[in-house]
């Protein structure tokens, strides 16, 4: 017989490591957007997981609320993108653990992390 406290501890551990629980929360914002400008100093893609901010024009807000005409999105290996390319993006706000290069830091506004890589 397992003590009640032990059952709770086991359940807590299972929930903490379960991928279904970790990814169940949907992205707070989904948009369709066109690439306007990429960073000029692109480096290290393929060597390390390099992330940098890309400037997009918002075409439509598909889920969530956003009123801006442009949006700044952190992308993994942005050199794979092309100016004028239209993409569907699932976005979340960065946490203190997210690191990325931001050549647009002089432009105020939130930076969003793209959580979906299109195939």
Which parts of the chain have pLDDT scores under 70?
Answer: 1-27, 43-44, 46, 49, 117-119
| pLDDT for 14 | 34
Q: What is the pTM of this model?
A: 0.73
Beta partners for 88? 32
| pLDDT for 19 | 35
| H-type alpha helices, 1-119 | 4-17, 19-22
Beta strand 51-63 pairing with 111-114? unpaired
| pLDDT for 26 | 52
Dig out the tokens for 65 from the structure.
């609320």
Burial of 100: CB neighbours in 10 Å, binned 0-12, 13-18, 19+: middle
Whether 112 and 71 have beta carbons less than 8 Å apart is answered as yes
Burial of 45: CB neighbours in 10 Å, binned 0-12, 13-18, 19+: middle
Task: State the distance between the two ends of the chain, measured CA to CA, in whole angstroms.
Answer: 49
Dig out the tokens for 36 from the structure.
């306007």
| pLDDT for 61 | 97
| pLDDT for 41 | 75
| pLDDT for 22 | 37
């Amino acid at each position: 017989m397992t003590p009640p406290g032990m059952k709770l501890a086991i359940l807590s551990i299972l929930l903490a490591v379960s991928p279904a629980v970790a990814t169940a929360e949907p992205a707070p914002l989904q948009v369709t957007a066109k690439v306007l400008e990429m960073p000029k100093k692109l480096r290290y893609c393929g060597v390390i997981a390099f992330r940098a901010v890309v400037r997009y024009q918002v075409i439509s807000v598909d889920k969530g609320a956003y009123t801006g005409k442009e949006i700044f999105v952190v992308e993994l290996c942005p050199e794979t993108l092309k100016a004028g390319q239209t993409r569907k993006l699932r976005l979340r706000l960065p946490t203190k653990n997210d690191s990325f290069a931001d050549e647009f830091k002089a432009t105020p506004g939130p930076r969003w992390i793209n959580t979906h890589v299109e195939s």
